[in-house]
Amino acid sequence: MILVGFLTDPSLPLMPARAAVLSIVEMYKTGLSVLVILLASVLGFNPSFASDSQSLASIQLQSEAFIAKYPYSSPYAAQFELSRLDKRLKLKACAKPLAISFTRPDKVMGNTSLTVRCETPVNWQIHLPVRIDIYDDVLVSKTPLSKGQIIDARDVVLRKENIARLNQGFLRQTKTLENLEIKRNLPAQSILTPALLSPRKLVKAGQKVTIMLEMQGMQIKTSGFALQSASRGQTIKVRNSRSNKIVEGIVEGYGQIRVTL
């Protein structure tokens, strides 16, 4: 209101009024420039490196975007913490988006690192340490399990776990439990891993079995006794009950051995 009254005062000549306007405008521009410089300083942007220095903030942001978009097979978003770059690091500005990948393709979670590269107009490369936690729903025992027990969906439940810490592996789906048994006794709420499971023994030592003899296109069934325990597809020795001879055969099913002569 003071500015308007001043500019419209009829007692003032026209030219001085214009000069006053120009002076105020110049002051406004100067103030705006100072404000921009102050903001840039607060944000860590150095105008002297705007054209030839890569922003460390841009490296950080592009690295975060790479991890956020990585196709982890999990229903939960990745949680990660990137190491902070040294503020003294000076890198030539990159003309294109940075090329980012995991330093070790087989190490995409846990304590790992990213390789960040500039390919044009200059070539430089840095390694950025990062901790990545990936959560997923994994199978755990609902009740205590005994060695040799055949398990199914009724014996397990799903529980959210940080799989980056499960170095022994884990299981997600109950269908993976088919024809598997527990190797040792497990308490309730134990995370099931491949190392804790083994193929179900379809034949056990001393068990009476059916021997299917194949010879010159003919098949003869007879009975015998298994001399070893074995799972599907394994080769074991069995004793023929009729001839008392010991032969080798392949386990094809529960109590079923195929022998080719």
Residues 122 and 68 grouped into a single domain: yes
Q: Are 118 and 100 in contact (CB under 8 A)?
A: no
SS3 call for 77: coil
Q: Which residues, 6+ apart, have CB-to-CB distance to 109 below 8 Å? A: 72, 78, 132, 133, 134, 163, 164
Determine the longest span between alpha carbons in the chain, in angstroms: 134
Tell me: pLDDT of 42 over 70: no
Decide if 62 is inside a domain.
yes
pLDDT of residue 44: 39
pLDDT of residue 179: 83
Residues 187 and 214 grouped into a single domain: no
Residues 122 and 149 grouped into a single domain: no
Decide if 193 is inside a domain.
yes
Structure tokens at 31: 């103030």
Decide if 45 is inside a domain.
no
Tell me: pLDDT of 153 over 60: yes
Residues 153 and 83 grouped into a single domain: no
pLDDT of residue 235: 95
Tell me: pLDDT of 31 over 60: no
Decide if 34 is inside a domain.
no
pLDDT of residue 178: 86
Residues 142 and 190 grouped into a single domain: yes
Q: Are 156 and 139 in contact (CB under 8 A)?
A: yes
Domain that residue 141 falls in? 135-199
Greater confidence (10 vs 221) lies with 221
Which percentage of the chain shows pLDDT scores above 70?
Answer: 80
Across the range 35-59, mean pLDDT stands at 56
- Mean pLDDT score of the chain, rounded to an integer? 83
Residues 168 and 115 grouped into a single domain: no
Structure tokens at 135: 């959560």
Facing residues of 60 across strands?
none
Tell me: pLDDT of 36 over 60: no
Q: Are 108 and 132 in contact (CB under 8 A)?
A: yes
Omega before residue 121 within 30° of 0, cis? yes
Structure tokens at 51: 């054209």
Residues 128 and 56 grouped into a single domain: yes
Tell me: pLDDT of 189 over 80: yes
Report in angstroms the alpha-carbon separations of 99 from 51, 65, 95, 125: 20, 12, 12, 9
Residue with structure tokens 């379809």? 202
Across the range 129-152, mean pLDDT stands at 96
Output the domain CATH number for residue 234.
2.30.30.760
pLDDT of residue 48: 32
pLDDT of residue 90: 93
d(Cα 250, Cα 113) in Å, to the nearest integer? 47
Greater confidence (196 vs 29) lies with 196
Decide if 28 is inside a domain.
no
Across the range 58-62, mean pLDDT stands at 97
pLDDT, tens only, 67-99: 999 999 999 999 999 999 999 999 999 999 999
Output the domain CATH number for residue 173.
3.90.1210.10
Decide if 123 is inside a domain.
yes
Q: How many structural domains comprise the chain?
A: 3
pLDDT of residue 105: 96
Looking at residue 253, its amino acid is G
pLDDT of residue 59: 97
Residues 77 and 110 grouped into a single domain: yes
Residues 99 and 70 grouped into a single domain: yes
Domain limit, last residue, from 104, 133, 162: 133
Report the predicted TM-score, pTM, of the whole model to 2 decimal places.
0.66
pLDDT of residue 200: 87
Helix or strand (DSSP H, E) at 246: strand 246-253
d(Cα 100, Cα 103) in Å, to the nearest integer? 9
Structure tokens at 179: 């024809």
Which percentage of the chain shows pLDDT scores above 90?
Answer: 69
Tell me the pairing of strands 230-231 and 124-133.
unpaired
pLDDT of residue 67: 98
Across the range 193-209, mean pLDDT stands at 93
Decide if 172 is inside a domain.
yes
Across the range 180-197, mean pLDDT stands at 95
Residues in the chain: 261
pLDDT of residue 75: 94
Residues 66 and 119 grouped into a single domain: yes
Residues 208 and 242 grouped into a single domain: yes
pLDDT, tens only, 243-261: 999 999 999 998 999 998 7
Domain limit, last residue, from 164, 199, 234: 199
Domain limit, last residue, from 165, 180, 199: 199
d(Cα 218, Cα 214) in Å, to the nearest integer? 6
